[in-house]
Amino acid sequence: MRGHASRQTPMFCMIDVELELPKHHPLRAIKCLADAILNSMVGDLRAAYSRIGRPSIPPEQLLKALPLQALYSIRSEIQLMKVAQAAMPRQLFAAILGRIHGLAPAPT
């Protein structure tokens, strides 16, 4: 069963994560492009998943992580999460990934 992305704002986040990334940073353009492409694929992704069973991580969130992994030369998804927790601002990374269930850094 295909999971759904939650757009709920983190409860203890004291800053707007969109303000943390400079206005003309290349990641903003990449995120917009990825969102547009993934929005055009919603029907195909929905058809590929069962309507019954345990919800999975939304494929849009997994696919959105791949450009970050490639841009930062990170070898695996596990290492991607470790880098996110250690080197990148947690709020920025969570906003870019859309908080992958159970894998994204906890809000500070």
Contact 32, 18 (CB under 8 A): no
Q: How confident is the model over 21-53, as pLDDT tens digits? A: 778 888 888 888 989 999 999 999 889 888 888
Q: How confident is the model over 66-107, as pLDDT tens digits? A: 888 888 888 888 888 787 777 656 556 566 666 554 444 444
Q: What is the pLDDT of residue 44?
A: 92
Q: What pTM, to 2 d.p., does this model score?
A: 0.58
Contact 56, 63 (CB under 8 A): no
